[in-house]
Amino acid sequence: MSSVTEILYFTASEEYKKGSVTLNGPVTGVNKSYIGYETEDPTVLFWVNDWVSKEAHDDFTQKPEYHELAAASRPAFASHPTINWVKFEDNKGALGAPITEFVTFTLKEGKTIDQLEPLVQELHTKLIGTPKFHGDSWAVVIDKPNVYHGILGWDTVQAHWDAVTDGPLREVIDRVKLVADLWLVHAALKPHTAA
């Protein structure tokens, strides 16, 4: 069994923003948990859990404390969460950075993962040594075989944009866009040890 990253994002409720509601955690089976607002839309909250395994999460959902945690956390959500499960090789550099970039590449109709994977690997290789870059990890989303998910760590949002405005990274990204639709946002994550 290998660790798996649960990425949730949702609109935070007014109660959560005021501090009258908290998100509990981490729980047994979670290596580390992070929480933080999206920089592009500060009403959106990211809650990222690095689980020991998907099985550890599934086992936890069968315990009485899961239902207590879910009920206690529900008031923090002003929208239904989007959840992605990804088996990243190494998430520590990206999630521990001051800014985490969340990116998905969703295959365009008629395109295959075999066309996308070499581009993702090329992007990963060309990112090495980029100024103010803390590391990245990429993997196909569990239960979404047409979606590649990346997490990338940066000093600042501007450091990311500076790195991809032109040059070799921009060229790879332009080729990715021929194969897949790109979605990306940034969040300022902090370790979550709440309540």
Q: Hey, what domains does the chain have and what are their CATH numbers?
A: 4-89 (3.30.70.100), 91-186 (3.30.70.100)
Write out pLDDT tens, residues 19-57. 888 887 668 899 999 999 999 999 999 999 999 999 999
Name the token pair of 167: 């040059």
2-31: b (≥16 Cβ within 10 Å) or e: ebbbbbbbbebbeebeeeebbbbbbbebbe
Give the separation between CA 96 and CA 110, rounded to whole angstroms. 36
Give the separation between CA 174 and CA 95, rounded to whole angstroms. 25
Q: Contact 18/166 with Cβ under 8 angstroms?
A: no
Write out pLDDT tens, residues 100-114. 999 999 999 999 999
Q: What is the pTM of this model?
A: 0.94
For 108-126, what is the mean pLDDT? 97
